């Protein structure tokens, strides 16, 4: 029975897929959901992460509703938001945006929020928002320029990926490291296990 369980990851993030694989879970299907991620007026970053992860799960559920092959699947979605106080740092696509974000993060703390949403085979929604406090060292102009040149900031919230070069910028981290990568594994595994998903079914045997 456990071998028949199916998990759909409503994300196209290679990092989230890698983290699930690291935990021994291989999604049966990847479904990147294209939704409007624009924050609402005065929306708190934590609320934004929760809302977007829920909307992605709802979109995936709606897309699969009439497909009997996926009717009894679990759907997992996530959205990560980086913020300084209530100021949300969106995904950077241009060098000037990356410069501004890195100068803002230099020498100070910021929050990383990841909203996770699990839809059970019975259609129940289970949600959580995980937060991690990260503090960057003070970055020199040369470090910022060299990091910009690496291109690792492109498409990243807050203009950095902690699993890359920017990991060397982190002076202190309080909370979940995998949350900053994009998927808090402890909380995800707890949600899945709590809803009857056998998280150890795909683990290798020694």
The pLDDT tens digits of the residues spanning 32-57 come to: 999 999 999 999 999 999 999 999 99
Sequence-separated (6 or more) residues with CB below 8 Å from residue 184: 114, 116, 130, 176, 178
User: Is 70 exceeded by the pLDDT of residue 9?
Assistant: yes
Cβ atoms 74, 117 nearer than 8 A: no
Q: Which of 34, 66, 79, 198 is catalytic?
A: 79
The pLDDT of 137-152, averaged and rounded, is 97
pLDDT tens digits, 177-193: 999 999 999 999 999 99
The whole-angstrom distance between residue 5's C-alpha and the CA centroid of its chain comes to 23
User: Is there a domain that residue 95 lies in?
Assistant: yes
pLDDT band at 205 (very low <50, low <70, confident <90, very high): confident
**Based on the structure, what is the number of domains in the chain?**
1
User: Is 80 exceeded by the pLDDT of residue 3?
Assistant: no
Range of the structural domain that residue 86 is part of: 2-194
User: Is there a domain that residue 170 lies in?
Assistant: yes
CATH number of the structural domain spanning residue 49: 3.90.950.10
pTM of the full predicted structure?
0.93
Residue 201 and residue 159: Cα distance in Å, rounded?
36
User: Is there a domain that residue 202 lies in?
Assistant: no
Residue 182 and residue 19: Cα distance in Å, rounded?
9
User: Is there a domain that residue 93 lies in?
Assistant: yes
Q: Is 79 a catalytic residue?
A: yes
């Amino acid at each position: 029975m456990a071998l028949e369980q199916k998990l759909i990851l409503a994300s196209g993030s290679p990092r989230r897929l890698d983290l699930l694989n690291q935990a021994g879970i291989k999604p049966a299907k990847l479904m990147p959901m294209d939704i409007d991620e624009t924050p609402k007026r005065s929306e708190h970053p934590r609320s934004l992460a929760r809302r977007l992860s829920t909307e992605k799960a709802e979109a995936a559920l709606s897309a699969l509703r009439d497909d009997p092959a996926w009717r009894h699947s679990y759907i997992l979605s996530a959205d990560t938001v980086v913020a300084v106080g209530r100021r949300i740092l969106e995904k950077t696509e241009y060098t000037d945006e990356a410069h501004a974000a890195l100068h803002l993060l230099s020498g100070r703390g910021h929050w990383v929020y990841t909203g996770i949403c699990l839809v059970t085979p019975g259609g129940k929604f289970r949600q959580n928002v995980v937060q991690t406090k990260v503090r960057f060292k003070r970055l020199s102009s040369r470090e910022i320029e060299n990091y910009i040149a690496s291109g690792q900031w492109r498409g990243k919230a807050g203009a950095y990926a902690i699993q890359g070069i920017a990991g060397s910028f982190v002076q202190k981290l309080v909370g979940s490291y995998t949350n900053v990568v994009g998927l808090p594994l402890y909380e995800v595994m707890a949600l899945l296990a709590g809803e009857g998903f056998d998280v150890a079914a795909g683990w290798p045997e020694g």
